[in-house]
Structure 1
Amino acid sequence: MSYTLFVNLPVKDLSRSKDFFTALGLTHFGASEDMASVVISEQTQVMLLTEPTFAGYSRTEVADPTKTTQTILVLGLENPQQVDELVDKAIAAGAEPVGEPVNDGYRYQRGFADLDGHHWAALCLATPAG
């Protein structure tokens, strides 16, 4: 059985967040005044919800992603060039770099924090020899 994954993220300014993800080359699937869906792949979407709407679904207080990390959202890419292109687009659109690039022969990874402080990483895994 296969599932579709919807990741919900609280955002302060929905319009600004939509513009940010559009600048990364991602498309939107549906939107309302308090939420929008960003298509990552056929099986994965990130739902951007205004903080009050997100709080309505949450059973606990909405965390401030600029002060705590609850999750790191990792986008798997095909090669290091795509990793650099995506992270460079994110930074150009207002994201902040997170950490140092990792290039250990098994993976190439760079991180960034989006406009609301959510931690993202772009990752390319090396193909195992053999």
Structure 2
Amino acid sequence: MIFVNLPVADVAASTAFYEAIGMVKNEKFSNAQASAMNWSDTIHFMLLDHAFYATFTDKKIIDAKTSSGMLIALSLDSRTDVDAITQAAVTAGGTELHDPEDMGFMYSRAFADPDGHGFGPFWMDPAAAENGPEHMADAAA
């Protein structure tokens, strides 16, 4: 399993945002300091208020609106799903980071949550996912 821990300014507001983009809150592992949000059976996002997040590290918590610590790519089943999660994110208070990118074999968008954490939802053609994109095979030959 993967647990992505994200520092957030407002746990309740962040929880509402993540629910709006399709995640499900796990009440068993949530309280006023943290919300456990399930993306899938194996991928979970822990939304931690800054004070609680700080108990896990001695490092300064960055302002994700002005600095980048990571970008989280989320594989989806279709282009329509990529568009839907991006629209849901913007509607729920997130920010679209750039125009859609269509590479033929892969389609992606990007958004930031209200705290500035970057997400890149994408769809990849199953054949390209298995064999690699054609232009990569041409370069290797």
- TM-score range for the pair, normalised by the shorter chain length: over 0.9
Specify which structure has the higher proportion of helix: 2
Q: TM-score, normalised by structure 1?
A: 0.93
The answer to whether the aligner puts 1:44 opposite 2:39 as a matched pair is no
Q: 1:44-85: CA deviations, max 9, x gaps?
A: 100000011101111311111011111111111011000001
Structure 2 unmatched runs, 5+: 132-141
Q: How many correspondences in the alignment?
A: 127
State the match for 1:9 in structure 2: 6
Q: TM-score, normalised by structure 2?
A: 0.86
Runs of 4 or more consecutive aligned structure 1 residues displaced over 3 Å after TM superposition: none
Residues in 2 aligned to 1:80 and 1:100: alpha-carbon distance in whole angstroms? 14
Matched residue of 1:128: which SS?
helix
Identity %, equivalent residues: 28
State the match for 1:20 in structure 2: 17
Higher mean C-alpha displacement, 11-20 vs 51-60? 51-60
Backbone CA RMSD of aligned residues: 1.3
Following superposition of structure 1 onto structure 2, how do residues 59-74 of structure 1 map, counting pairs within 5 Å?
59-74=58-73
Task: Report the residue type matching 2:58 in the other structure.
Answer: R
Task: Report the residue type matching 2:7 in the other structure.
Answer: P
Q: Between Structure 1 and Structure 2, whose CA radius of gyration is higher?
A: 2
Task: Report the residue type matching 1:115 in the other structure.
Answer: P
Residues in 1 aligned to 2:23 and 2:63: alpha-carbon distance in whole angstroms? 24
Residue 99 (structure 1) shift: 1.8
Residues in 1 aligned to 2:42 and 2:126: alpha-carbon distance in whole angstroms? 23
State the match for 1:118 in structure 2: 117
Residues in 2 aligned to 1:34 and 1:126: alpha-carbon distance in whole angstroms? 39
Matched residue of 1:47: which SS?
strand
Residue 109 (structure 1) shift: 0.3
Specify which structure has the higher proportion of strand: 1
